[in-house]
Structure 1
C-alpha cells in the first residue's frame, strides 16, 4: 500500500494501491476498500487513480461521486 500524500491535510484516506483495472483505498480507520471497473466504472476508477497519485481530492471524490460503489472490503 502506497502512502497517500494528503496535500490538503484533512483527508480520510491514508493509502492506496493501483492495479490496471482497480484501486484499493485505505481509510484512516484502517478499512481498505477495492473499487473496480466492474463496480464503479472505468472513468470513475481512472479519476480515482489520478487523484490518488496527485495526493489531493480522493476522499472528497469518493464521498461525493463514488459512495458505495466498491467491489469489496479487504480484511
Structure 2
C-alpha cells in the first residue's frame, strides 16, 4: 500500500493500491475499500487512480461520486 501524499493536509485517505481496473483505498480509520470498474465504473476508477497519484482530492471524489460503490464480498 502506497502512502497518500495528502497535499491539502485534511484528507481522510491514508494510502492506496492500484490495479488494472481497480483501486484499493485505506482510510485514516484503518478501513480498506476496493473500488473496481465492475462496481464503480471504469471512468471513476481511472479518475480515482489519477487523484491518488496526485495526492489530492481523492476523499472528496469518493464522497461525491462512488461512496457506496465499493466491492463487497459475498
Give the TM-score of the pair, scaled to structure 1. Answer: 0.94
Structure with the higher strand share, 1 or 2 = 1
Unaligned ranges ≥5, structure 1: none
Number of aligned residues: 73
After TM superposition, which residue ranges in structure 1, 4 or more long, deviate above 4 angstroms? Answer: none
1:35–1:72: 8 Å Cα contact kept in structure 2?
no
Unaligned ranges ≥5, structure 2: none
Give the TM-score of the pair, scaled to structure 2. Answer: 0.96
Q: Does 1:59 align with 2:59?
A: yes
Aligned position for 1:34 = 34
CA distance in 1, matches of 2:72, 2:56: 23
